[in-house]
Amino acid sequence: MIHPDLPFLTQTPDAKAILGVRPSELEGFCKCLPDNQGAYVLGTGFRAAAGELRLLPAPHGVGAAVIGLGEDRSHHCFGKLARSLPEGAWRFEPGDFDMDSAILGFCLGAYAFTQFKPAARPPASLVVGEGHESVLAQAAAIFAGRDLINAPANVLGPTELADAAAALATRFGAQFQRIEGAALAAAYPTVAAVGAGSDRPPVVVRIDWAGSRAAPDAALVCLCGKGVVFDSGGYDLKPSSGMLRMKKDMGGAASMLALAQMLMASDAPIRLVLMLGCVENSVSGHAMRPLDIIRTRRGLTVEIGNTDAEGRLVLCDLLAEASDLQPALLVDCATLTGAARVALGPDLPALFSNDDGWAEAVLRAGGEAHDPAWRLPLWGGYAAWLESPVADLNNVSGKSHAGAVTAALFLQRFVKAGTPWMHIDTYAWNDTSRPARPEGGEVMAMRALARAIVQRLASTPQTDPAAHLAST
């Protein structure tokens, strides 16, 4: 099977075998290997630990590879293969592991951002048989999201991020809208305020798509993403150390694009709306200032307590519009707060939701797919921390605690009552390289979301969110 976005896949019939073995099976496994290869494997000290690799000799070089599985049932133990195996074509032999997990781990480990510098060596090639289209589509979507996050801000501005959304819409035959200039300022005043300081004007994009099997009343899923291509902090300027990775501040938009790509590639029987706020937060004579007051699309007024809390401003107008569509599910994703990283670290996106059924479905799917998130509370007792004496609310809390919670509570004010909603506060980055997770941009929890959405909505057309809430 060949995939246009995964160039290391091949169809050659001469691929070498990759054999997976667990520690409890190692002795019997080695006895079944031909030509004393089993003795060789044991003699090298191989213990079948997760990710442990041995190459089996053959008369003319390497004949096969043995990968230890340990007790790991995730895709991660296959994540070093693409960069560790000798160049050439390889295939997985069936074993005590899930084939889709093996393929996913191989693919995610093969990724490298090569737009400006080639990889030290190309990955090994992989032969994939029929029946694995879904996992390949997931890998391709993650590759696309990683590429966007890794792109430097001088190359990926608001226009270029919008262009990436347009290309995705064209690829899947979806409707596409690009809102700019005066129309954007009128419809999305908070996005306009965030982008006012940059010479690169903001863009809002919207994609409308329906699966080929989606009835007119099929469940509507709305996705909103924070696409801040670079965040200086505005007048509340970040220190230089805080700006070093701010090209990744559009990681929420990249994640929502990846999720949309997964759903469209699977032809999910749903209706889908994707909205991105593509913008740069810069400093200039036109930039928003501390204590400015902005009237939002919802009509609420917001006092700017901190210009570096711009992501919630980008999202609030998008959430207002999306929730007015009465979706069966509304999801937003953003690299929103450092507080979420303090609480959960870089690997666990924070999940907030007003719907226990949806939250539990995503957490369960994340466990099944080894793509986790962790739920934090929408603690209403902190809502008063966002009060302002001169506006309906402030964009930041006056307290130093629970920054991720108060950010989510701010967003909730713009979600129409009765709308099932989830907010994902993601880091969107791997600080170091690990199996299947190379250093750099990362798409987190989107496979879990795709799995939960398909499981819950694919067979339950629903246009009334209140009825959906009752069913959960």
pLDDT tens per residue across span 367-388:
999 999 999 999 999 999 999 9
94, amino acid identity:
P
> Which structural domain range is residue 23 located in?
9-130
Asked if 90 and 65 touch (Cβ cutoff 8 Å), the reply is yes
- What are the start-end ranges of the E strands in 189-283? 203-210, 220-231, 271-281
Asked if 148 and 254 touch (Cβ cutoff 8 Å), the reply is yes
Residue with token string 């879904």: 134
Among 82, 109, 130, where does a domain finish?
130
Statement to judge: residues 91 and 41 lie in one domain: yes
Statement to judge: residues 61 and 144 lie in one domain: no
| Residue 31 structure tokens | 């006895």
Widest pairwise Cα distance in the chain: 82
Name the nearest CA neighbour of 441 among 295, 247, 177, 224. Answer: 247
Asked if 157 and 199 touch (Cβ cutoff 8 Å), the reply is no
Q: β-strands 125-127, 89-92: how paired?
A: parallel
Helix (H) or strand (E) holding 179: strand 175-179
Name the nearest CA neighbour of 391 among 419, 417, 410. Answer: 410
Distance, CA of 104 to CA of 406 (rounded, Å): 36
Give the count of domains, the chain: 2
Task: Label residue 400 exposed, middle or buried (CB < 10 Å: 0-12, 13-18, 19+).
Answer: exposed
Distance, CA of 64 to CA of 85 (rounded, Å): 10
Distance, CA of 1 to CA of 136 (rounded, Å): 10
Here the contacts of 70-74 (C-beta below 8 Å, separation 24 or greater) are 70/22, 70/23, 71/22, 71/23, 73/97, 73/98, 73/101, 73/370, 74/101, 74/105, 74/370
Among 91, 111, 130, where does a domain finish?
130
Name the nearest CA neighbour of 107 among 76, 130, 151. Answer: 76
| Residue 411 structure tokens | 């967003």
Asked if 65 and 55 touch (Cβ cutoff 8 Å), the reply is yes
Residue with token string 């213990």: 47
Look at residue 2 and tell me if it is in a domain: no
Statement to judge: residues 198 and 104 lie in one domain: no
Asked if 412 and 436 touch (Cβ cutoff 8 Å), the reply is no
- What is residue 468's predicted lDDT score, i.e. its pLDDT? 37
Cα–Cα distances (Å) from 367 to 74, 258, 322, 370, 448, in that order, read: 10, 19, 28, 5, 8
220 in the Ramachandran plot: left (φ > 0), alpha (ψ -120 to 50) or beta? beta
Task: Label residue 351 exposed, middle or buried (CB < 10 Å: 0-12, 13-18, 19+).
Answer: buried
Look at residue 185 and tell me if it is in a domain: yes
Low-confidence ranges of the chain (pLDDT < 70): 459-472
Look at residue 4 and tell me if it is in a domain: no
| Residue 16 structure tokens | 């070498």
Statement to judge: residues 146 and 295 lie in one domain: yes
| Residue 168 structure tokens | 């995705």
Asked if 34 and 56 touch (Cβ cutoff 8 Å), the reply is no
CATH of the domain at 181: 3.40.630.10
What is the 3-state composition of the chain as percent helix, strand, coil, each rounded to the nearest 5? Answer: 40, 20, 40
Look at residue 441 and tell me if it is in a domain: yes
Catalytically active residues are 238, 312
DSSP state, 295? Answer: E
Statement to judge: residues 21 and 118 lie in one domain: yes
Statement to judge: residues 89 and 194 lie in one domain: no
* 213 phi, psi to nearest 5 deg: -105, 10
Residue with token string 């670290």: 345
Look at residue 98 and tell me if it is in a domain: yes
Statement to judge: residues 260 and 111 lie in one domain: no
187, amino acid identity:
A
Look at residue 174 and tell me if it is in a domain: yes
Cα–Cα distances (Å) from 450 to 199, 326, 331, 408, in that order, read: 36, 20, 11, 22
Statement to judge: residues 332 and 275 lie in one domain: yes
Among 114, 130, 146, where does a domain finish?
130
Asked if 8 and 126 touch (Cβ cutoff 8 Å), the reply is yes
Statement to judge: residues 113 and 168 lie in one domain: no
Residues 6 or more apart whose Cβ sits within 8 Å of residue 65: 16, 17, 18, 19, 53, 54, 55, 56, 81, 85, 90
CATH of the domain at 104: 3.40.220.10
81, amino acid identity:
L
Statement to judge: residues 359 and 431 lie in one domain: yes
Q: β-strands 293-295, 350-353: how paired?
A: unpaired
Statement to judge: residues 122 and 182 lie in one domain: no
Statement to judge: residues 325 and 422 lie in one domain: yes
